[in-house]
Amino acid sequence: MSNTRASACDALVIGGGPAGAALGIALAQSGRAVKLLEQSPTAHNKVCGEFLSHEAIGYLESLRVSPRALGAVAIRGVRLHAHTRIATCELPFPALSLTRRALDEALLHAARREGVTVLRGQRVEGLTRTSDGWQARVVAGAVHAARDAFLATGKQDLSGYRRPTGKQNNLVGFKMYFRLAAAQLEALKGWVELFLFPGGYAGLQMVEGGQANLCLLVTREQFARCGGAWTALLEHMLQSSPPLRVWMDGAEPVLDRPLAVSSIPYGLLPAETTDGLWRLGDQAAVIPSFSGDGMSMALHSALLAAMMLARGATPAEFARVMRAQFQDSIQLATTVSRMLVSAPVVAQAARMWPGLLGRIAARTRVPTNALLTAHPLLRHNGAGLDG
């Protein structure tokens, strides 16, 4: 295989999910020559609950990507079901629901618009440090060079850059779109239905186009007890959760088979780094999915990294600030996620104390004004950025 050396640029972004695309946009806006390498050749579905928090919406709008213009539907509350018990909570912030297929594509489109060189169908298989920066080698053999490199490969680890396992790492994630019967679809409008079942939890919410997204997490052990089969897992959930059975009555799957993801390092916090590589989004930190805050953290990490790079900070300083901002919310969310999987008393507690869901939601978010409040943290962590 012959290696083709591509021209060097200021910044190389590996991965074109929310973190990579947002970073590309921010760096291009500050005048940097950015190349973004994304393995998928075209728009595609991703395992995700597709809940866009208030903070994520704000970040997207600041990048001139409007979820509403893309057809996002409004979400105003969560209904938590454990067997037949139900707890209801209006969200303390407005939220939306939008397919990742639409969102991620719109972000990459916005990156191109801002001048980022977006290369699709480019799977990076190796990343090495050189005397004057970084080199990434893609599967087809081309080599791309840059002064700074940003790892934003999300759920997938790059060879040689494996993340630690996290604090809750025995879950498998699935996602399937369904066409619901008209009455169910009407009743679902505006709500995330969260169902607890032995060994896992599932969220159902409407997305654009009149479809519903059923996204769930289940322990590997429980999935094995279902014979490792999606149909048996679905039956297990329906048997354990009568409300879910009501929702799914007459539902028709839209995809040939569900999308799946495993080895998710939930609870991962930004670690001390010395290798000079910027790690963004899920490569930096992973908050349990029920919080619906993964995308806003990914977007935040990108904008924070761009801001810190512009002020001369290092990846190590960036990781320290990220850790200071997110360790409390990630630790709380991981504790709750463990309880959701193993002790459905959470639903009973939420029913007895109706404010609980709202409090958990409020305490697992990207802190308000986190980009602005990062400034004192930069100084505290020795980034020397008084300007």
User: Interface with ligand FAD by CB under 6 A: which residues?
Assistant: 14-20, 37-40, 47-51, 56, 123-124, 152-156, 158, 173, 215, 217, 261, 264, 281-282, 289, 292-296, 298
Q: Which is nearer to ligand FAD, 154 or 243 (CB)?
A: 154
CB of residue 42 to ligand FAD, shortest distance in Å: 11
In whole angstroms, give the CA distance from residue 246 to residue 270. Answer: 41
- CB–CB of 59/296 below 8 Å? yes
Beta-sheet strands, E only, within 208-295: 211-219, 252-253, 259-261, 278-279
Q: Is 217 helix (H, G, I), strand (E, B) or coil?
A: strand
Least Cβ distance, residue 377 to ligand FAD (angstroms) = 21
Chain centre to alpha carbon of residue 71? 20
Distance CA 32, CA 30 (A): 6
Q: Which residue type is seen at 322?
A: M
The answer to whether the beta carbons of residues 288 and 334 sit under 8 Å apart is yes
Strands 200-207 and 9-14, by their bridges, are unpaired
CB 299 within 8 A of CB 60: yes
> Rounded CA gap, 364 and 287, in Å?
9
Cβ of residue 153: shortest distance to ligand FAD, in angstroms?
4
CB of 283 to ligand FAD, least distance (A): 6
Minimal distance, residue 44 CB to ligand FAD, in Å:
8
Look at residue 301 and give its three-state secondary structure: helix
Q: Toward ligand FAD, which CB reaches closer, 120 or 147?
A: 120
Q: Which residues contact 258 (CB under 8 A, 6 or more apart)?
A: 174, 175, 176, 230
CB of 120 to ligand FAD, least distance (A): 9
Q: Could you tell me the smallest distance in angstroms from the CB atom of residue 287 to ligand FAD?
A: 7
For ligand FAD, the closer of residues 79 and 351 by Cβ is 79
Give the residue with the Cβ less far from ligand FAD, 80 or 298: 298
CB nearer to ligand FAD: give 85 or 101. Answer: 101
State in Å, rounded, how far the first CA of the chain is from the last one. Answer: 48
Looking at the Cβ atoms of 47 and 385, the one nearer to ligand FAD is 47
Q: How far is the CB of 169 from ligand FAD (least distance, A)?
A: 12
User: Could you give the CA distance from residue 349 to residue 354 in angstroms, rounded to a whole number?
Assistant: 8
Identify which of residues 176 and 298 has a Cβ nearer to ligand FAD in the complex: 298
Please list the residues that pair with 80 across neighbouring strands: 87, 194
Closest to ligand FAD by CB, 199 vs 385, is 199
